Amino acid sequence: MQRTGRLIRVTALIGIWLSLGPHGRTAAQQGPPVNAGKPSDQQLHAPAESESFDFMIFGDRTGGPPEGVEVLKQGVQMANRLDVDLVMTVGDLIEGYNEPETWLAQMREYKAAMDGLQMPWYPVAGNHDVYARPKRPGGHLALYSQHFGPLYYSLDYKWAHFIILFSDEALSFGNPARDQNFSTEQIDWLRKDLAASDAAQTFVFLHHPRWTKRYQGCNWGDVHRIFVSYGRPVTVFAGHIHLYRGDGQIDNVRYYTLATTGGHLGRFRETAALHHVDFVRVRPDRITVAVLPVESVLAGDFVLGKELDTMHELARGDWCCVPSAASIGLKAGERSSFLVDITNPTDRSARFTAEVKAGYGWSVDAEPVDQELKPGQTLNLKVVTIAPALGDAEPKLIVEAAAHYPIRSGLVQPINIQIDVPIRALLPENAGTADPRNNGVLALDGSSAVRIDIPEQLERYTLECWVRGGEPKETVALLAKTESSAYGIFWSAASDSTELPTGFIGTTDGYLILPAAGAWDWNRWTHLALVFDGKKGTFYINGRPQAAQTTNATATHNRHPIYIGADPKHNGQPCRYFTGQIDEVRLSGVARYEGPFTPRNEFQRDDETVFLLHFDRTFGGLFPDDSGRNHHGWPSGTPKIERVQR
């Protein structure tokens, strides 16, 4: 039963002290003063030296499901992590009530789990350990003595004395007054054993809590009187009832009953019925008992740094994407399909779940996902939808997904994300065309924006617009899809306190940050363009290059929408709102400008246009796209169109 080796001690105890001084210390608890680098009004001291040792107690294992052995193994891990000096039990180690062959198999299973301990452990015999079925004289007493140890015994450790009693001598407990009595032989042994001890602390372990009401009529009173006559502190631990109870101190004896460490849980599962271990710290003049639920003590490296890094990456949600869009038309019944792609980006197999939730009026045909994926494996969920008619309320389809990431310590971290499915509104072909005779611009009030859902992941692009607006009090966004990736155009504070527009291009080496070269005239309509050709990023104002950077890194992407007049947060919602007017917003899948140019007042679409919004009209509550790809803008807040001639 004995194991060698130690883990680093990680122990947390709560003490209650009287007459506390500064920082919770009494004079008796203070050692020498600390070596202060600078003087302080607070006098700090090292703690007074104190001897102590720790042990742990496991509750009943029996009566529970087969996986209760795994609970026992978790208790073993807790003992090793807290580096206790020894482990005690309170009986019912195996299921028992069986034939010898089955008993032996269960004994080997239990001892195999306990073999994981790095310190000695000591058995206590319970009824399940010694009763046989069918009944036979002596039950399994001989097998227990052969494979576990003596039925009752004692041992000494430092200033403490440990006594193990046997509470099933009659091999029956139907009638406590008749069956639950200690034999004269065992009581005489106990009296002699205590007479030979001068330990400062004594601990007693047995299976049945004989001092409680259910055992009235038995001879526990005789045992208690032996402890009283002994005179020194005695603490008694038992099990059997699968419920926790502390019966306080009677005379010089304190009583505790443990619940379970893998056994069948009793009825009061919110309080007294729990899988746990007892942690006991022993000093010559006192003890502390702490109840630790199983899995509540973790190793100092229970989450590795690389595992936490992986969890942060999973929380970004890039492992789940919707590369296409659902369709909605002016009339109900538009049928479309899209894919939800889930890829395991980690270095270990993990469980992934996903489900599509639909707003009012949508019909969705897709089975929920609940599947284990190997590292790098991808799952494609096909979703078929039938849409309601496009109305005043924005249509909603949401993917709720979770990555259940297992870490080395055995814990599993679920990481939940939500993705808004891109909705492609099918408007008439000419809905988004420009109207030069009735020109409009987008007016934003600092709490509104326009959202465009684009599934395209561009390796090169041009993002441009015309803009004017009031000077912001903080950094705001004009056009942004940024979230540690992608691209955007912002107003940023310059070193001389003037505010300058700045372009951001996300790459695998971080952002290329491209600020304007000079002061900014807020009241003048100005053309801004951010260009990335796959190697070089350039920021233009009114067709003149302001800043440029080259890189060997590649463009990065995210699943967020692009906002006109705001920046997406980590959950895709807008923030950093712009106040002012924006017109002629175009995103192209090509680097349109390679040097100085004269910007057009009005853009025209071509095959490279991803979206183009003229803001001359709204259609069905949307800001229509002139690219032909149906990347129409959805309102967030109350964006408006104003009639302005530029």
Per residue in 259-286, pLDDT (tens digit) is 999 999 988 998 999 999 999 999 999 9
Q: Are strands 276-283 and 286-293 parallel, antiparallel or unpaired?
A: antiparallel
Per residue in 590-646, pLDDT (tens digit) is 999 999 999 999 999 999 999 999 999 998 889 999 999 999 999 999 999 999 877
Rounded Cα distance between 309 and 492, Å, is 30
Rounded Cα distance between 185 and 378, Å, is 70
Rounded Cα distance between 624 and 614, Å, is 8
Question: Helix (H) and strand (E) counts for the chain?
Answer: 8, 40
pLDDT for the residue numbered 391: 83
pLDDT over 50 (residue 287): yes
pLDDT for the residue numbered 11: 34
Q: Yes or no: say if 621 and 443 are a contact pair by the CB < 8 Å rule.
A: no
Can you tell me the mean pLDDT for 528-547? 96
Structure tokens at 396: 């909603």
Per residue in 447-502, pLDDT (tens digit) is 999 999 887 899 999 999 999 987 777 889 999 999 889 999 997 655 444 457 88
More confident residue, 286 or 19: 286
Per residue in 48-76, pLDDT (tens digit) is 888 999 999 999 999 877 789 999 999 99
Closest among 525, 532, 643 to 594, alpha carbons compared:
532
pLDDT over 70 (residue 46): yes
Model confidence pTM above 0.85: no
331 φ, ψ (degrees, to nearest 5)? -115, 150
Q: Yes or no: say if 152 and 189 are a contact pair by the CB < 8 Å rule.
A: yes
Rounded Cα distance between 554 and 535, Å, is 8
Number of CB atoms found within 10 A of residue 530's CB? 26
Rounded Cα distance between 559 and 556, Å, is 11
Domains of the chain, start order: 53-293 (3.60.21.10), 305-425 (2.60.40.2310), 431-643 (2.60.120.200)
pLDDT for the residue numbered 18: 31
Rounded Cα distance between 563 and 635, Å, is 10
Percent of the chain at pLDDT exceeding 70: 94
DSSP state string for 44-67: -EEEPP---EEEEEE-B-TTS-TT
Q: Model confidence at 15, in pLDDT bands (50, 70, 90)?
A: very low
Burial group, residue 490, by CB count within 10 angstroms (0-12, 13-18, 19+): buried
Q: Which residues contact 564 (CB under 8 A, 6 or more apart)?
A: 442, 449, 450, 451, 452, 465, 478, 479, 582, 585, 613, 633
SS3 143: helix
